[in-house]
Amino acid sequence: MGTLGQAIADNGGLSVGFAEMLLKDVPAEKTALLPRVGGQVVQTNHPAFILGHLSIYPKRIAALAGLGEDFVPNPEGFEDLFAAGKECVDDPEWKVYPRLDRITEHYFAGHRKLLAALPEVSDDALAQPHGMPSDFAKRFQTKAGLLGFYVGGHQMMHMGQISAWRRCMGMGRVF
């Protein structure tokens, strides 16, 4: 068992648990709506988009960790629809996004499978340079650093968006 992989998985478990708490009382039919405050649309990300976006990352994380390209395959169209930089759109009739149950099924299954496997990745493998060429990825020197961000910080950043969306939609805090 790898210490680094276990630490990354522990962080990811918090993120997935927070997602469960944020969704527990949210009506599914509202999750693709942009909030309106004072009659104005708040251009933010809604839960359907956020969870769809986060659902495509286990595939990338698994590949970087050496678990294989197809360890957690993404449903057809998810990567284009939910890629970084895509604009989240108001979708009251669910014509743009898949239904929430399909999104959350992929999100939770992919992350749980990944989190169960990460502790088995050796510390030596995770201590290697990640080799990703993007300017963003260059902020992290090792696979462990980059994967730690994807599993922890990246998810929690987006969970904060769901928390803010809840407030805009008139829902209370989760803790």
Tell me if 126 is assigned to some domain: yes
Tell me if 175 is assigned to some domain: no
Tell me if 22 is assigned to some domain: yes
Tell me if 82 is assigned to some domain: yes
Looking at residue 37, its pLDDT comes to: 86
Tell me if 125 is assigned to some domain: yes
- List the domain range (segments joined by +) for residue 136: 3-168
Buried b / exposed e along 19-51 (16+ C-beta atoms within 10 A): beebbeebeeebbbbbbeeeeeeeeebbbbbbb
Per-residue pLDDT tens digits for 88-145? 999 999 999 999 999 999 999 999 999 999 999 999 999 999 988 888 888 999 999 9
The CATH code of the domain that includes 71 is 1.20.120.450
Per-residue pLDDT tens digits for 24-74? 999 999 999 999 988 899 999 999 999 999 999 999 999 999 999 899 999
| Whole-number Å distance between alpha carbons of 170 and 4 | 40
Tell me if 136 is assigned to some domain: yes
Our count of domains for the chain comes to 1
